[in-house]
Structure 1
């Protein structure tokens, strides 16, 4: 069974789960022009979180983090509901952001489906649980998908979009339109545990912890290295673009050194060695993981250098974080 969405433009949203993560999503969508109905475990919790979101917005506004007038906008567009059923009864899109527990989420999603109007798109903000497991809660999962915002939701632009086997592809452009209006950028990924964001994030954290366990560096020094070297590049370029600019042949040789010491877990992946064997070294040859026009290489390097310089200036302007000495 495949159900069509009730609308091609989302203007009415229900946010189920209004804690730190869900509340930030609600703020973001309301400031993007949607009316957002809020529901939590009970009416009292919903009201408390609604009041907290307004206080938080006023603070953000005073700090220049939200535009002037944002708190008044949120007072108009955030609507605390008496129950989950009341919140979802007449909306275009429901976003669930309750505890990261499979059964809790399934119970809530089943309630949402029963109470929502036909054609309502239903999203989950799960950070690790596959759609195929949560879809078991539905009689009809064709309008269900993962719409995974990152913390803190009001300020992080990336959103993972994960469709299940039953998801109607027609929901994607509708969700993309909502995210674009909210200043967010969606990226579609496959339905596997952890998706992309947390799979990469957890691997980095695990290796960082191993480095500390081995006595290679302290947690503070690891954080310094990450934030001032490869992490410094990541606001502008992802790992494939960075590798292409550095040279895939260089990376292949580096992997060989790591493999000799750490074994197969740090050996070069096959997709890297295959490209190098074909003479595709990245930017300097015009192709690697990405297709890069050699004529634009100088332009790319100029942009890169300007971006890193601006980042350095921004860090000076902001001053050291409270974690600094």
Structure 2
């Protein structure tokens, strides 16, 4: 990965993103509120890397690679001067981000791509602070960024296709997976995450189950599937007619909260019931069904073995 990168905001998230890019071969300059903070965070990242190597979480030689590719800049201006890609990772405050982005775009080369690691703030609302806003977009890593493989790529209406393609290429060269989503409140990751959390809190408030029991059910049932399949693949395998019936049952007590999605009704009315009919959201061909089921079963067994090997998390009451 032969590019120059600047990370503006070298704290936990920004520093982790810097590790990811530097391990992939990019030359990464860290900048923060002052040079001393950037230097302290650089030293923290190298110490972390040594620990991760000892724990088998980073490959052997990772710290040597980071020592070679990571540096602390004296200033934001110095960090971005020769950068091909710049990732802003300062706290989630719109005015602060706008201020930093204005400084970045004034000091960076006009062709440099600028990304923001925001998880909630509208990309368009920040783009007004960027010179040449066609080179600006959201590049949203998840915590902890060295170990979570997915990254949201979020163009605003004025982002160029070339910028999206380049940002995806940079991220995917680190081994991460990207998904391009529209610039809407919460994007995709947090809309889904907070929808689940909202329903979980409703169950607690209604006295249906305790938080510990809800967590147990999520991680041992549908959450157990999620490392391998997203919600549409899971629905297709369960049968969209089954989902349609379950929505009708839920509406007995929660008519508005669990209104049947229009897109689901349309699929069922068209006879597209998922893998059982050879059509659905993902439209898996019938000849692939046996292979899919075999993969699913193997994946779940392997996941069970990994969880037994790791043992319960330290927050588990049985730990």
TM superposition score category, shorter chain reference:
over 0.9
Q: Post-superposition shift, 1:202? A: 0.7
Does the residue aligned with 2:296 lie in a helix, a strand or coil? helix
Q: TM-score, normalised by structure 2?
A: 0.98
CA distance in 1, matches of 2:83, 2:94: 24
Which residue is equivalent to 1:186? 178
Which residue is equivalent to 1:115? 107
5+ residue gaps, structure 1, are 1-8
Q: Post-superposition shift, 1:47? A: 1.0
Gap change, CA 1:10 and 1:214, over 3 Å in 2: farther
CA contact (8 A) 1:15 1:22 kept: yes
The Cα offsets for residues 101-155 of structure 1, whole Å up to 9 and x where unpaired, read as: 1111111000000000120000000001111101111232010000000110000
The Cα offsets for residues 275-314 of structure 1, whole Å up to 9 and x where unpaired, read as: 1011110000011111110111111001000000000001
Which residue is equivalent to 2:17? 25
5+ residue gaps, structure 2, are none
CA distance in 2, matches of 1:198, 1:176: 20
Alignment pair present for 1:242 and 2:234 = yes
Does the residue aligned with 2:71 lie in a helix, a strand or coil? strand
| Count of residues in Structure 1 that have an aligned counterpart in Structure 2 | 317
The Cα offsets for residues 165-209 of structure 1, whole Å up to 9 and x where unpaired, read as: 111111222222222221101100011011000000011111111
Which residue is equivalent to 1:50? 42
Aligned-pair Cα RMSD in Å: 0.9
Please identify runs of 4+ aligned residues in structure 1 that moved more than 2 A: none
Does the residue aligned with 2:228 lie in a helix, a strand or coil? coil
Q: Post-superposition shift, 1:69? A: 0.8
Does the residue aligned with 1:122 lie in a helix, a strand or coil? strand
The Cα offsets for residues 202-250 of structure 1, whole Å up to 9 and x where unpaired, read as: 1111111111111111111110000000000000000000000000000
CA distance in 1, matches of 2:142, 2:194: 14
**Does 259-268 or 151-160 show the bigger shift?**
259-268
CA contact (8 A) 2:106 2:131 kept: no
CA contact (8 A) 2:134 2:163 kept: no
Which residue is equivalent to 1:12? 4
Does the residue aligned with 2:257 lie in a helix, a strand or coil? helix
CA distance in 1, matches of 2:165, 2:256: 41
Which residue is equivalent to 1:98? 90
Does the residue aligned with 1:260 lie in a helix, a strand or coil? coil
Which residue is equivalent to 1:281? 273
CA contact (8 A) 2:2 2:25 kept: no
Which residue is equivalent to 2:286? 294
CA distance in 2, matches of 1:323, 1:131: 36
Which residue is equivalent to 2:194? 202
CA contact (8 A) 1:158 1:186 kept: yes
CA contact (8 A) 1:10 1:93 kept: no
Q: Out of 10, 29, 36, which is 2:28 matched to? A: 36
Alignment pair present for 1:315 and 2:307 = yes
Which residue is equivalent to 2:163? 171
Q: TM-score, normalised by structure 1?
A: 0.96
Q: Out of 256, 259, 264, which is 2:251 matched to? A: 259
Which residue is equivalent to 2:211? 219
CA contact (8 A) 1:147 1:161 kept: yes
Q: Out of 47, 52, 70, which is 1:78 matched to? A: 70
CA distance in 2, matches of 1:261, 1:293: 37
Which residue is equivalent to 2:124? 132
